[in-house]
Homo-oligomer: A and B are copies of this chain.
Amino acid sequence: MQGPRTVAEQVANVLREAIAGGTIKAGTPLRQDELAEQFGFSRMPIRDALRQLEAEGIVSIHPTKGAQVARMDSAEISEIYSLRELLESEALRLSVPNLAGARLDEAEQVLDQIDAERNVGRWGALNRAFHLALYDACGNHRLLALIEAHHNAADRYVRILLSNLDYRSRSQREHRDLLAACRRRDGDRATSILRQHLREGRETLVSAIREDGLSRKS
């Protein structure tokens, strides 16, 4: 696994992280000239990067009007969480019977890291790593790719969730319950916990967005 081979990929990675971390807010116009100057490259690789991010649903591009960080209202958040529930419960169901013990140990280590991690910015990535580790043995690469894409799309909102300490500790309890069910090879129980986990995440997030007025459509 080697790093990005093209400038466009590097730019896409930096922008994705900046957007997920909240450095660049939703609705911010992403001007090609501006970004090109900031990154020290020409507009071409920036164009490629923006197209890639558009495909990931992180930015939206309108011809001749340019790109901006995709705005999401609570309805879209809700849609993404519904899809996560559908996709991830299926992946988990397929994965549990094939999950190697080593993979479960890895997942547990990730949970310990989350408990120990003090840098808020890392929680999003660790949270994703935990979930993906459990689905890894599902045997459907495209399903995994879809799940990862939806994690990316919702990442900056998940980080809002995780910055809430109450939610975070409850989330960790559910994570450990989920892991235990996987160790028992109890796929039904595991998917049930996962669905509940995601439903709570959606509800917490939607109400947080509603009251903070983060929701605005273009």
Contacts and interface: CB of A to CB of B under 8 A. Distances in A.
A143 B82 CA distance: 9
A3 to B, nearest CB: 11
Given A5-B64, A63-B6, A86-B87, A142 B52 contact: no
17 contacts: A5-B63, A5-B64, A6-B63, A9-B63, A44-B44, A48-B51, A51-B51, A54-B55, A76-B141, A76-B142, A79-B142, A82-B140, A83-B143, A83-B146, A86-B86, A86-B87, A146-B146
A90 interface: yes
Contacts of A140: 79, 82-83
The 10 A-B residue pairs with the shortest CB-CB distance, nearest first, are A55-B55, A5-B63, A79-B142, A51-B51, A79-B140, A6-B63, A86-B90, A83-B142, A82-B140, A83-B143
Interface residues of A, number: 25
